[in-house]
Amino acid sequence: MKVKAVPIVVLILPLLTALTFSIQFALIQSWVVYFDHVPALACALKIWSIEGFGSYGNSGTPVSGRISENTTWTSTYSPYIIIGNVTVELDVVLTVEAGVVVKFTEGSWLIVDGALRVLGDDTNPVLFTSNATTANKGSWGGILFRERSIRTLCQVSGAIIEYANWGFSVKSASIKICSSIFRSNNVGVKAYGDNCEVEIDNSVFINNTYGFLGAEPWPAPQSNEVFKIRNSFFSKNEELAIRLNFIGGSAEVLNNTIVNNGRGVYIPEIGNGHVDIINNNVSSNMQSGIAVYMHPIGSLKIFNNTVVNNGGNGITLTWGWNWGISAEISENVVINNLGTGMFIQGSDPFYSLVFVNNTVVANHACGIICGNIQKLHYSKVFSNVPYDIKVTTMNDVNATYNWWGTTNETLIRDLIYDYYDDIDLGRVFYEPFLRPPIVNFTYAPYLPYVLSAITFNASLSKAFYGSIVKYNWDFGDGDIKVVTLPIIAYVYETAGIYNVTLTITDEFELTNSTSTIIAVLEDNIPPVTMDDYDGLWHNTDFTIRLMAVDYESGVAETYYRINNGP
């Protein structure tokens, strides 16, 4: 490794003792429990439990200038003090081993034109931090991956990046980041430029001003970017968690927990690429949950997200000119947002928008505000204030086959704002609307006994639209069975009075329930055995008919014994 020699720095370095972090681990653990549906999040957060990296004696290793040959930084010479910009030259690999601490003086950068490999793990992370006694956001520059870096070798695992201006800056380069933490930076990760590829998995972005910024709009929309943000945790990022802008390639936001940020996911303009926002928990952010602007082409999928308790709109989709944009908004749960549940509106008609199977409930500034969309179906839209749906343009909206929380047409009509409230608006067609399935069941025998099978039959239940997909039987004795077929047999082990409840669910997740009281009796009288033997001797074959009768629960089994045999 070739470095600029600065011997005086070694002489004046203060005594380094065990480096300790106070990070309120108990609080982080509570987040892991609450959001445990996010895959592998707990694994990423194990890094937070580290209380120190050990003692490094009374000196560190000062570094500045160029690294012109393959180099490994080890815990033996840690901490490494970056006293001026350090550049990893073309075709050179810098490897940072587990447990290493790298401290940056004010304004200094690590610039990667070759490759950076960070090999931290759960118990021995690599720390990139400020050398200042009291560090703040922006105390040092950051780590810059430039377009000439080795695309296949830049990999970071088990790192903590804190107090930088831009934690990682990826300019037309490629990097994979996993199990890492970006905290207290102005920007956690910024990625931009043609052919930029960033993959983030199982990582944490907390207390940054911005979590992730992808593809900036100047000087022109980028092209061929690939951004993948998966299984990660974003919280307390002051302005926003994730911003994507002018995507010319593709972006994927998948299986993340995005809570308590300024904004959740924000796309000022989608560009001509494709964006997937799938399976995320976007909750309790100060402003909007998910907000996207499309213009004039590009495609979008917002699928199966939970968007609840945000301070602004739950999901916003707006667009300008429509030269071929396409979007799907489906299977999302949007509840109790202070703004509108779903704000969907654009300048041009958007006939290709797919809007199905969403749940929009109890939002505070309208359920759905829509303009220039043609249809929305098979969704649950109810209990929103002041309206479940409001039209903002003169185009009619086909809103048939939705569940409005009631079958009372007067109540449904009262919560729709359209032409019949303002003649300059389009109409909302809401009939036919979804209805809950009809539930019914019988049981036999009519007088059931303990330890005897009872057949419960729900074949008379039916769904108005689609089919019944689930039968949930609560037999009243603490036992619950969930099946997909209408007939089930059940045996009670104790006599008593039982309240049997059946709840059925149709394919649109509408439910209905009914209950019946049944009395299960104790069988106290033994069965009676009989035969028709005439008492005479016979010298030819003859038949004796043996019979058993029980006047309560019936005969379950019969056994025969001849001449006192077994």
- Determine the Cα angle at 364 with ends 362 and 367, to 5°: 60
Sheet containing 487-491, strands listed edge to edge, beginning at the edge strand earlier in sequence: 442-444, 453-457, 487-491
CA distance 199 to 228: 5
Lookup: tokens for 398: 């086909």
Question: How high is the pLDDT of residue 4?
Answer: 38
CA distance 557 to 561: 14
The better pLDDT of the pair 170, 49 is held by 170
8 Å CB contact between 97 and 119: yes
**Residues of the chain above pLDDT 70, percent:** 86
Read off the pLDDT band of 17 (50, 70, 90). Answer: very low
**Residues of the chain above pLDDT 90, percent:** 71
CA distance 309 to 362: 10
Q: Under DSSP, is residue 510 helix (H, G, I), strand (E, B) or coil?
A: coil
Residue range 276-281: average pLDDT?
A: 98
Tell me 522's DSSP state.
P
- Residue 12's H or E segment, with its range, is helix 7-12
8 Å CB contact between 248 and 224: yes
Residue 537, Cα to own-chain centre: how many angstroms?
A: 84
Instruction: Name the phi and psi angles at 285, rounded to 5.
Output: -85, 150
CA distance 511 to 524: 40
Select from 257, 255, 218, 252 the least CA-distant residue to 237: 257
| Residue 244 identity (one-letter amino acid) | L
pLDDT in tens, 427-446: 999 999 999 999 999 999 98
Residue range 410-432: average pLDDT?
A: 97
Whole-model pTM: value is 0.81
Residue 112: pLDDT above 90?
yes
| Lowest-pLDDT choice from 37-41, 107-111, 254-258, 381-385 | 37-41
Residue range 60-64: average pLDDT?
A: 94
| Residue 514 identity (one-letter amino acid) | T
Residue range 455-464: average pLDDT?
A: 96
| CA-to-CA dists, residue 395 to 349, 375, 427, angstroms | 8, 11, 7
Select from 45, 54, 50, 75 the least CA-distant residue to 181: 45
Read off the pLDDT band of 22 (50, 70, 90). Answer: very low
Tell me 72's DSSP state.
E
pLDDT in tens, 493-545: 999 999 999 999 999 889 999 999 999 998 766 777 777 877 788 888 888 88
Question: How high is the pLDDT of residue 553?
Answer: 60
- Burial class from Cβ neighbours inside 10 Å (0-12, 13-18, 19+) for residue 297 reads middle
The better pLDDT of the pair 542, 259 is held by 259
Mean of all residue pLDDT scores within the chain = 87
CA distance 179 to 200: 9
Read off the pLDDT band of 58 (50, 70, 90). Answer: very low
Residue range 173-200: average pLDDT?
A: 96
Quickly count: other Cβ atoms within 10 Å of residue 536's Cβ.
6
Residue range 306-322: average pLDDT?
A: 94
Read off the pLDDT band of 33 (50, 70, 90). Answer: very low
Select from 315, 323, 319, 324 the least CA-distant residue to 277: 315
Residue range 203-212: average pLDDT?
A: 98
Residue range 82-96: average pLDDT?
A: 97
Quickly count: other Cβ atoms within 10 Å of residue 316's Cβ.
21
Read off the pLDDT band of 75 (50, 70, 90). Answer: very high
CA distance 332 to 349: 23
Residue 10: pLDDT above 80?
no
Select from 424, 427, 486, 498 the least CA-distant residue to 459: 486
Lookup: tokens for 492: 């009670």
CA distance 231 to 390: 35
- Please state the three-class secondary structure of 384-434 as a single string: CCCCCEEECCCCCEECCCCECCCCCHHHHHHCEECCCCCCCCCCEECCCCC
Question: How high is the pLDDT of residue 336?
Answer: 98
Q: Under DSSP, is residue 243 helix (H, G, I), strand (E, B) or coil?
A: strand
Among 217-231, 319-333, 345-359, 412-426, which range has the highest average pLDDT?
Answer: 412-426
Residue 35: pLDDT above 70?
no
Question: How high is the pLDDT of residue 565?
Answer: 62
Read off the pLDDT band of 546 (50, 70, 90). Answer: confident
| CA-to-CA dists, residue 22 to 26, 43, 49, 50, angstroms | 11, 19, 10, 10
Select from 488, 486, 489 the least CA-distant residue to 463: 486
Residue 306: pLDDT above 80?
yes
The better pLDDT of the pair 371, 219 is held by 371
**Residue position matching structure tokens 């002041």:** 386
Tell me 508's DSSP state.
T
8 Å CB contact between 458 and 471: yes
Residue range 35-60: average pLDDT?
A: 41
Question: How high is the pLDDT of residue 27?
Answer: 31
Select from 132, 134, 137, 138 the least CA-distant residue to 109: 138
Residue 387: pLDDT above 50?
yes
8 Å CB contact between 455 and 489: yes
- DSSP characters over 103-130: EE-TT-EEEESSEEEEE--SSS-EEEEE
Question: How high is the pLDDT of residue 30?
Answer: 31
Strand partners, 444: 455
What is the pairing mode between strands 480-483 and 468-474? Answer: antiparallel
CA distance 490 to 441: 14
Question: How high is the pLDDT of residue 529?
Answer: 78
Lookup: tokens for 193: 């430029």
Residue 465: pLDDT above 50?
yes
Contacts of residue 473, defined as CB under 8 A and 6 or more positions apart, other chains included, come to 456, 480, 481, 482, 483, 488, 490, 500, 501, 502
Question: How high is the pLDDT of residue 36?
Answer: 36
The better pLDDT of the pair 57, 344 is held by 344
| CA-to-CA dists, residue 53 to 50, 75, 141, angstroms | 8, 9, 23
Quickly count: other Cβ atoms within 10 Å of residue 550's Cβ.
14
- Burial class from Cβ neighbours inside 10 Å (0-12, 13-18, 19+) for residue 478 reads exposed
Residue range 464-492: average pLDDT?
A: 96
Residue 143: pLDDT above 80?
yes
Residue range 383-392: average pLDDT?
A: 97
Distance in angstroms between the alpha carbons of the first and the last residue of the chain: 92
Question: How high is the pLDDT of residue 44?
Answer: 40
Among 124-133, 221-230, 546-555, which range has the highest average pLDDT?
Answer: 124-133
What is the pairing mode between strands 187-192 and 164-171? Answer: parallel
Question: How high is the pLDDT of residue 46?
Answer: 39
- Residue 498's H or E segment, with its range, is strand 496-506
| Residue 360 identity (one-letter amino acid) | V
Residue range 547-559: average pLDDT?
A: 67
- DSSP characters over 432-447: S---PPB---EEESSS
Question: How high is the pLDDT of residue 50?
Answer: 31
